[in-house]
Chains A and B, each alone.
Chain A
Amino acid sequence: MTWQNSAITITTLLPIVGALGILLVPRGDDRLVKGIGIAITGACLALAIAIAATYDYSAPACAAPPCLQFVLNVAWIPVIGARYHVGIDGISMPLYVLTFLLGFLCAVYTGRYVPEPGRIKAFVALTLLLITGMAGTFVAFDLILFFVFWELVLVPMYFLIGVWGSANRQYASIKFFLYTLLGSVFMLLGFLALYFSGPVDALGKHTFDLTALTAFGAGGGYTHLFQLVVFGAIGLGFAVKVPMWPFHTWLPDAHTEAPTIGSVLLAGVMLKMGTYGFVRIALPVLPQGAVAYAPWIGGLAAIAIVYAALACLAQKDLKRLIAFSSVGHMGFVMLGIATLTTIGIQAAIFGMVAHGLITGMLFFCVGSIYDRYHTRQIADIGGGMAEIMPKLSGIFAFVAIASLGLPGLAGFWGEVMALLGSFSPNTSTVAGLNVGLFRAFMIAGGIGTILTAGYFLWMLQRVNMGLAPERWKDNGFQDILTVEWVSWVPLLVLILVLGLIPSIVLNSTEQGVNLIVRIFGG
Chain B
Amino acid sequence: MTIDYHAILPVLILSSTIVIVLVTDLFLPPRHKSASMWVALVGVLATLVAVLSLIGKGDRPDSFGGSYQVDAFTIVFQTFFMSAAAVVLLISYRYFREGGFYQGEYYFLLLTSFLGCLLMPASRDLLMLFLSLELVSAPGFLMAAFRKSDVKGNEGGLKFFLIGVLSTAVMLYGMSLIYGLTGHLQLAAVSDGLQQLSGAKETLANAAILFVVVGFAFKVSAVPFQFWAPDTYEGSPVPVAAFLGVASAAAGFAGLLQLMFVAFVHEYTFWVPLFVALSLVTMTLGNLVALQQRQVVRLLAYSGIAQTGYILLPFALVSADPSINHSAFQAAVTYILIYGIMNLGAFAVTTAISGQRPLLRIEDFAGLAKTAPLLATAMTVFMVSLAGVPPTGGFWAKLLIFQAGIQRGGVGVLLAVAMVINSVISVGYYFLIPRAMIFEDAEDQRPFRSPILVTAVVAVAMTALLIIFVVPNAIYRLGEVTSLGFGG
A residues near B (Cβ < 8 Å) are 76-80, 129, 144, 148, 151-152, 154-155, 158-159, 162-163, 169-170, 174, 177-178, 181-182, 185-186, 188-189, 192-193, 195-196
B452 is an interface residue with CB less than 8 A from chain A: no
B residues near A79, Cβ cutoff 8 Å: 473, 476-477, 479-480
Stretch at the interface among B183-191, B233-241, B394-402: B394-402
B425 shortest CB reach to chain A, Å = 9
Number of interface residues of B (CB under 8 A): 31
B residues near A80, Cβ cutoff 8 Å: 399-400, 403, 476
Q: Can you pick out 24 interface pairs between chain A and chain B where the beta carbons lie within 8 Å of each other?
A: A76-B473, A77-B472, A77-B476, A78-B473, A79-B477, A79-B480, A80-B403, A129-B391, A148-B390, A151-B395, A155-B391, A169-B439, A174-B427, A177-B427, A178-B427, A178-B428, A181-B389, A181-B423, A181-B424, A186-B417, A188-B402, A189-B416, A192-B403, A196-B409
Cα-based distance from A173 to B98 in the complex (angstroms): 40
B residues near A196, Cβ cutoff 8 Å: 406-407, 409
Given A79-B473, A162-B439, A181-B424, is A152 in contact with B402 using a C-beta cutoff of 8 Å?
no
B419 shortest CB reach to chain A, Å = 9
Question: Are A186 and B438 neighbours in the complex by a CB distance under 8 Å?
Answer: no
Question: Are B402 and A170 neighbours in the complex by a CB distance under 8 Å?
Answer: no
Cα-based distance from A152 to B395 in the complex (angstroms): 11
Given A152-B390, A188-B402, A196-B406, is A77 in contact with B473 using a C-beta cutoff of 8 Å?
yes
Question: Are B389 and A154 neighbours in the complex by a CB distance under 8 Å?
Answer: yes
Q: A148-B395, A177-B431, A185-B421 are in contact. List 17 more A-B contacts (CB 8 A).
A: A78-B473, A79-B473, A148-B391, A151-B391, A154-B389, A177-B427, A178-B424, A181-B389, A181-B424, A182-B421, A185-B423, A186-B420, A188-B420, A189-B402, A189-B420, A192-B406, A193-B413
Question: Are A181 and B427 neighbours in the complex by a CB distance under 8 Å?
Answer: yes
B85 is an interface residue with CB less than 8 A from chain A: no
A residues near B409, Cβ cutoff 8 Å: 196
A444 shortest CB reach to chain B, Å = 33
Cα-based distance from A178 to B472 in the complex (angstroms): 25
B208 shortest CB reach to chain A, Å = 35
A residues near B421, Cβ cutoff 8 Å: 182, 185
Cα-based distance from A491 to B389 in the complex (angstroms): 34
B435 is an interface residue with CB less than 8 A from chain A: yes
Cα-based distance from A76 to B403 in the complex (angstroms): 17
Nearest-neighbor residue (CB-CB) of B392 within chain A = A155
Nearest-neighbor residue (CB-CB) of B476 within chain A = A79
Cα-based distance from A181 to B402 in the complex (angstroms): 15
B384 is an interface residue with CB less than 8 A from chain A: yes
B465 shortest CB reach to chain A, Å = 13
* Chain B 430-488 residues near chain A, CB threshold 8 A: 431, 435, 438-439, 472-473, 476-477, 479-480
B residues near A (Cβ < 8 Å) are 384, 389-391, 395, 399-400, 402-403, 406-407, 409, 413, 416-417, 420-421, 423-424, 427-428, 431, 435, 438-439, 472-473, 476-477, 479-480
Nearest-neighbor residue (CB-CB) of A170 within chain B = B439
B residues near A159, Cβ cutoff 8 Å: 438
DSSP class of B's interface residues: helix, strand, loop or mixed?
helix
A40 shortest CB reach to chain B, Å = 18
Question: Are A155 and B402 neighbours in the complex by a CB distance under 8 Å?
Answer: no
B residues near A188, Cβ cutoff 8 Å: 399, 402, 420
Cα-based distance from A81 to B409 in the complex (angstroms): 19
A residues near B427, Cβ cutoff 8 Å: 174, 177-178, 181
Question: Are A170 and B435 neighbours in the complex by a CB distance under 8 Å?
Answer: yes
Question: Are A193 and B406 neighbours in the complex by a CB distance under 8 Å?
Answer: yes
A17 shortest CB reach to chain B, Å = 13
Question: Are A163 and B406 neighbours in the complex by a CB distance under 8 Å?
Answer: no
Question: Are A151 and B389 neighbours in the complex by a CB distance under 8 Å?
Answer: yes
A residues near B417, Cβ cutoff 8 Å: 186, 189
B residues near A170, Cβ cutoff 8 Å: 435, 439
Cα-based distance from A328 to B330 in the complex (angstroms): 46
Cα-based distance from A174 to B479 in the complex (angstroms): 34
B residues near A182, Cβ cutoff 8 Å: 421, 424
B residues near A192, Cβ cutoff 8 Å: 402-403, 406-407, 416
Cα-based distance from A182 to B417 in the complex (angstroms): 11
Cα-based distance from A77 to B479 in the complex (angstroms): 13
B residues near A144, Cβ cutoff 8 Å: 399
Question: Are A185 and B407 neighbours in the complex by a CB distance under 8 Å?
Answer: no
Nearest-neighbor residue (CB-CB) of B409 within chain A = A196
The 5 closest A-B pairs by CB, nearest first: A185-B420, A79-B476, A192-B406, A151-B390, A77-B473
Nearest-neighbor residue (CB-CB) of A165 within chain B = B439
A residues near B428, Cβ cutoff 8 Å: 174, 178
A166 shortest CB reach to chain B, Å = 13
B residues near A151, Cβ cutoff 8 Å: 389-391, 395
Cα-based distance from A144 to B395 in the complex (angstroms): 11
B152 shortest CB reach to chain A, Å = 31
B residues near A177, Cβ cutoff 8 Å: 427, 431
A residues near B438, Cβ cutoff 8 Å: 159, 162-163
B residues near A158, Cβ cutoff 8 Å: 431
A residues near B439, Cβ cutoff 8 Å: 162-163, 169-170
- Most chain B CB atoms below 10 A, which of A162, A177, A188, A195: A188
A173 shortest CB reach to chain B, Å = 8
Question: Are B435 and A162 neighbours in the complex by a CB distance under 8 Å?
Answer: yes
A123 shortest CB reach to chain B, Å = 12
Question: Are A185 and B473 neighbours in the complex by a CB distance under 8 Å?
Answer: no
Question: Are B400 and A185 neighbours in the complex by a CB distance under 8 Å?
Answer: no
B residues near A77, Cβ cutoff 8 Å: 472-473, 476
B475 shortest CB reach to chain A, Å = 9
Nearest-neighbor residue (CB-CB) of A174 within chain B = B431
Cα-based distance from A129 to B466 in the complex (angstroms): 14
Given A77-B476, A159-B438, A170-B435, is A189 in contact with B406 using a C-beta cutoff of 8 Å?
yes
